[in-house]
Amino acid sequence: MYSVIFFYTTTIIMIKYIFLMILFIGIHFAKGQTVRGMVADERHEPLIGATVLELGTMNGQTTDVNGQFQLKLASKSARLIISYVGFTPDTLDANFTGPMHIMLKSASSELDEVVVTSSSTFMDDLESKHVEVITEAELTKAACCNLSESFETNASVDVSFTDAVSGAKTIRMLGLDGRYVQINRENVPNVRGLSGRYGLSWVPGTWVQSIDVGKGAGSVVNGYESMTGQINVELKKPETSEKLYLNGYVNSFGRLEFNANHARAINDQWSTALLLHTNYFNNEVDNNEDGFMDIPKGRQLNVMNRFKYQGDKLVSQIGLTFMRDEKAGGQTGFGFKDDFQTAPQYGFLSNTTRVEVFGKTGLLFPHKPYKGWGFIYSASYLDIDGGFGRDNYLGREKTLYGNVIFQNIIGNSFHQYKTGMSMLIDDFDEVYADSIFNRQEVVPGLYYEYTYSPGDRFTLLVGARTDFHNLYGTYFTPRLHTRFKFSENTTLRAAIGKGYRTPNTIVENSNILVSSRQLVIEENPEPEVSWNMGGSLVTAINIGSKKLNLIADYFYTTFENQLIYDMDQSSEQLRVYNLRGDSYAHSFQLEGNYQFSDRLSAKAAYKFYDVRATINEELREVPFNARDRFFLNTSYSTPFDKWEADATIQWFGSKRLPDTSDKPAEFQTRSSSPDFLLVNAQVSRGFRWGNIYLGSENLLGFTQEKPIIDSENPFGDNFDASIVWAPVVGRMVYAGFRYKIKR
Amino acid sequence: MKKIITTFALLITIQAFCQKEPVQVKEGFKVEIKTSAICEMCQFTLEKDMAFEKGVKEATLNLEDKVLSVIYNPKKTDAQTIRERITMIGYHADTLARDDEAYKKLPMCCKDGSHGTPIPQVPLKKQGGNQ
């Protein structure tokens, strides 16, 4: 009986099946080379001038007056990024057969800060500034650990080595120190002031969703501080990130890291994310046997809790963050609890607490996505308690920042503008040895930025801001950006702009002060003022069936004033004075990337920096800058990233080193460093739940011989740990896992 | 008795039609599984999930007939395990019905009737007991 019923059902199903098969025959899925479709908003109104870009290429189009587009694809398995001012960008597979109907959601408080969650690095063809976007997929190619190490697979940002004691890594851009780059976290100024030196290590890598790297002058909307470039870091969002993300990491020196992110929707309007990071390292590594720890001991607890409210007309975000970071370095035997002023060893201690409340609120006009009000704010408190050798350092910074932005169009979307006002209150209290440095900056500012973009070929962006600095008078900051697309494959960009910043003498030299050098501040530091101008040419050449993407850029930075940190005049002093003469940096970069196959791609870059400043009344090369650099990154991955392998090779040319000829012969160092190679590599294996990875930094194990001068007598007159031009530690091997639960 | 035999014979024919047996190929065994996939997104989801399935060497979905061709190592897995996995992704696999919870989590474009496709039939049997 059972089988009869079974048979009966089977027959019916079979008939349906055959019927369906007949239906399916009529549908033919051919893989076309051209995709077409329409981009519309949530009310199905066509969006005019929306950008449709093939991911990883310069191939893009804008929609016409009916929201229609037609795009010839470069590769078969292309993905498209669709973006429009005021809307959340969307990324999707382009292998649709029929016309695509793409609906973008209004983005609200993000204004036009593009957030893209897709793979690898790319440039938006229609962006008027030279901006590279580093996505999460790119960031995981170098697994460790925080923002200072997030640029290892990017050619435009150089990671430098600071001193042999604190172990801090800082960045350089356009040949100049990272302090001239404005580093924002979600458009709030972040790594600046007293967090300038270590701040990059306080942003855990697993919190980062994407990083925008802008070369040259930035937008006036974010202030006057971008002198050589602008880096904006977008963190994991409550509304989009994984329900659970766990990451564990261990390296061959014994450093442990643990990260946990959790995000969820509370109800239709509210969502929240909790981000947690902790690291611990308590081993003494002294591979070069100079009695000094090659890497300081460290422990950190870093927590962020953020909330988002998404309404029809109001979008709001608020977040809270707490960070405690402790470092103890110097001679072996020195620990977290020791007092560097009385300990027998030379000690280095840095205990930092940072608390911040930040957020943004956007007011929307639902039928006018180009129009909106935004308010970005942050209040933070930073406390550094530490010292090096016998000298203590105490630093405290209280910062209040607010920025109100209004965005609209004039007549039609060819003419867009942003205007607003900002307020910065920054209160500094510092004690170094027996000197006290206090200052309070109050800087209200106004700005206006106009964009003319009559289609996808041309954009002109003119911006200016005026800030009224309570200590240094009025800052007028003009900026100009232009973009011209010659052909489907070739885009030229040019920019010019002025920038300002207030130097923070002690913090910026905390690496140099790890020495017997005496700090001599000759005069009151004046604000640093620079002009930056330059441009880039992006083009693609067909080689075989694939495109070779080429990016050539040149930027010139010249200082009207710069605070000179002179290590050359005397090897027993660090002399600080305002620029007397010229100071400039020429930067040239040629980068090419090529996708050999679906699995293999490579990126190579050559960089040339000519950086000179008037040091000790002589225009000479700035120390620690490699004139020539070469960069090569190759990536291999099997389908769906089941296996991924990455290798990065960096070659550093010779660098000029500070003059030590006035030291006794046995304590003199070479006048320039030799060239050397650094290799990083990583392999990862994907699973449904995430992945595991194994990698190595400094695979060849190149280290600087004797990074510390007279390490036997750290309290003597010749001790100097600041002349560091290469890694101090050798090969490091690491392993870790990432476990993800999607929502 | 004769009726039962006829039924059985028919049943075997039908089974053979609805569910193909694995065949040996150079890289291992190959099985073709009829699925309820609809679009490129389904193709991506299925092929990606199969890339991480134990013993599976290659999986390709033909969007014309919605048949997923899977090449696998018979020592590590079998056709039935693969079909069961497909149901756990949210798709019918030959005569096995999809897991409802997994189906609910699929993107809108992979739901019944999207892209103007006909709503797929309900397969024969629910996956019983073995979950």
Nearest to B124 among A4, A10, A640 (CB): A10
Q: Where are the beta strands (DSSP E) in A57-130?
A: 60-62, 68-72, 79-83, 87-88, 90-93, 100-103, 105-106, 121-123
Report chain A residues whose CB lies below 8 A from the CB of B123: 13
Please judge whether A642 and B51 are an interchain contact, meaning their C-beta atoms are less than 8 angstroms apart.
yes
Nearest to B44 among A17, A93, A686 (CB): A93
User: Radius of gyration (Cα) for chain A, nearest Å?
Assistant: 27
Report chain B residues whose CB lies below 8 A from the CB of A9: 124
- The C-alpha angle A716, A722, A728, rounded to 5 degrees, equals 110
Nearest to B51 among A10, A11, A640 (CB): A640
Please judge whether A16 and B121 are an interchain contact, meaning their C-beta atoms are less than 8 angstroms apart.
yes
The three-class DSSP label of residue A618 is strand
Beta bridge partners of A492: A484, A537
Please judge whether A20 and B121 are an interchain contact, meaning their C-beta atoms are less than 8 angstroms apart.
yes
Residue A625, Cβ density class (10 Å: 0-12 exposed, 13-18 middle, ≥19 buried): buried
Structure tokens at A672: 């320039």
CA dist A183 and A200 (Å) reads 9
CB A373 within 8 A of CB A420: no
CA dist A605 and A649 (Å) reads 11
Structure tokens at A338: 């020791």
Please judge whether B49 and A14 are an interchain contact, meaning their C-beta atoms are less than 8 angstroms apart.
no
What are the backbone angles phi and psi of residue A288, rounded to the nearest 5°? Answer: -90, 5
The three-class DSSP label of residue A268 is coil
CA dist B55 and B51 (Å) reads 9
Please judge whether A14 and B64 are an interchain contact, meaning their C-beta atoms are less than 8 angstroms apart.
no
Q: Where are the alpha helices (DSSP H) in A517-604?
A: none
CA dist A390 and A513 (Å) reads 11
Nearest one of A572, A554, A685 to A610, comparing CA atoms: A554
Q: What is the dihedral of CA A705, A707, A710, A713, to 10 degrees?
A: -130
Mutation for testing the A interface, residue in B48, B96, B125 having most A CBs under 10 Å? B48
| Residue of chain A whose Cα is closest to the Cα of B11 | A7
Report chain B residues whose CB lies below 8 A from the CB of A642: 51-52
- Contacts across the A-B interface (CB distance below 8 Å): 57
Report chain B residues whose CB lies below 8 A from the CB of A20: 118, 120-121
Report chain B residues whose CB lies below 8 A from the CB of A599: none
pTM: 0.82
Q: Which residues of A touch B (CB under 8 A)?
A: 3-4, 6-7, 9-11, 13-14, 16-17, 20-21, 23-24, 27-29, 93, 95-96, 639-640, 642, 686-688
Please judge whether B123 and A688 are an interchain contact, meaning their C-beta atoms are less than 8 angstroms apart.
no
Nearest one of A394, A663, A636 to A515, comparing CA atoms: A663
Please judge whether A95 and B49 are an interchain contact, meaning their C-beta atoms are less than 8 angstroms apart.
no
Report chain B residues whose CB lies below 8 A from the CB of A14: 14, 17-18
Please judge whether A3 and B41 are an interchain contact, meaning their C-beta atoms are less than 8 angstroms apart.
no
CA dist B48 and B41 (Å) reads 10
Burial B54-72 (b: 16+ CB within 10 A, else e): ebbbbbebebeebbbebbb
CB A224 within 8 A of CB A499: yes
- In SS3 terms, chain B reads as CHHHHHHHHHHHHHHHHHCCCCEEECCEEEEEEEECCCCHHHHHHHHHHHHCCCCEEEEEEECCCCEEEEEECCCCCCHHHHHHHHHHHCCCECCECCCHHHHHCCCHHHCCCHHHCCCCCCCCECCCCCC
| Mean pLDDT for the stretch of residues B76-85 | 94
Q: Compute the nearest-CA separation of B90 from chain A (Å).
A: 15
Please judge whether B11 and A7 are an interchain contact, meaning their C-beta atoms are less than 8 angstroms apart.
yes
What are the per-10-residue average pLDDT scores of chain A (743 residues)? 47 49 37 71 74 74 79 73 75 67 60 35 75 85 81 86 81 94 94 91 93 93 95 93 95 96 94 97 93 95 96 93 96 94 94 97 85 95 94 96 94 90 97 92 97 88 97 96 91 96 92 91 95 95 89 97 96 95 97 92 96 96 95 93 94 95 93 95 94 95 93 93 92 95 85
CB A495 within 8 A of CB A560: no
Nearest one of A228, A230, A231, A183 to A558, comparing CA atoms: A228
Q: Compute the nearest-CA separation of A659 from chain B (Å).
A: 58
- Residues with Cβ within 8 Å of B9's Cβ and at least 6 positions away in sequence, in order, are none
Please judge whether B66 and A24 are an interchain contact, meaning their C-beta atoms are less than 8 angstroms apart.
yes
pLDDT at A119: 38
Mutation for testing the B interface, residue in A13, A16, A73, A119 having most B CBs under 10 Å? A13
Q: What is the DSSP string of A481-499?
A: EEEEEEETTEEEEEEEEEE
How many other C-beta atoms are found inside a 10 Å radius of the C-beta of residue A316?
19
pLDDT at A133: 87
- Residues with Cβ within 8 Å of A570's Cβ and at least 6 positions away in sequence, in order, are A662
How many other C-beta atoms are found inside a 10 Å radius of the C-beta of residue B16?
10
The three-class DSSP label of residue A527 is coil
Nearest one of A729, A633, A630, A739 to A681, comparing CA atoms: A633
Structure tokens at A287: 């591979």
Q: Which residues of B touch A (CB under 8 A)?
A: 4, 7-8, 10-11, 14, 17-18, 40-41, 44, 47-49, 51-52, 63-66, 117-118, 120-124
Report chain A residues whose CB lies below 8 A from the CB of B118: 20, 23
CA dist A80 and A73 (Å) reads 10
Beta strands A176-177 and A208-215: pairing type? unpaired
Please judge whether B11 and A10 are an interchain contact, meaning their C-beta atoms are less than 8 angstroms apart.
yes
CA dist A352 and A394 (Å) reads 10
| Residue of chain B whose Cα is closest to the Cα of A5 | B7
Any idea which residue has 């109800």 for tokens?
A: A267
Any idea which residue has 């073709």 for tokens?
A: B32
Q: Where are the alpha helices (DSSP H) in A99-242?
A: 136-139
Q: Compute the nearest-CA separation of A25 from chain B (Å).
A: 7
Report chain B residues whose CB lies below 8 A from the CB of A7: 7, 10-11, 14
Nearest one of A648, A635, A650 to A680, comparing CA atoms: A648
CB A476 within 8 A of CB A447: no
What are the backbone angles phi and psi of residue A529, rounded to the nearest 5°? Answer: -130, 130
Please judge whether B65 and A21 are an interchain contact, meaning their C-beta atoms are less than 8 angstroms apart.
yes
Asked whether residue B10 carries a pLDDT value surpassing 60, the answer given is no
Q: What is the DSSP string of A377-433?
A: EEEEEEEEEEEETTEEEEEEEEEEEEEEEEEEEESEEEEEEEEEEEEEEEEEEEEET
Please judge whether A3 and B8 are an interchain contact, meaning their C-beta atoms are less than 8 angstroms apart.
yes
Please judge whether B14 and A14 are an interchain contact, meaning their C-beta atoms are less than 8 angstroms apart.
yes
Mutation for testing the A interface, residue in B52, B88, B94, B104 having most A CBs under 10 Å? B52
pLDDT at B18: 64
Burial A469-483 (b: 16+ CB within 10 A, else e): beeeeebebebbbbb
Structure tokens at A82: 């669709």
| Residue of chain B whose Cα is closest to the Cα of A690 | B52
How many other C-beta atoms are found inside a 10 Å radius of the C-beta of residue A374?
25
Please judge whether B18 and A17 are an interchain contact, meaning their C-beta atoms are less than 8 angstroms apart.
yes
| Mean pLDDT for the stretch of residues B91-99 | 92
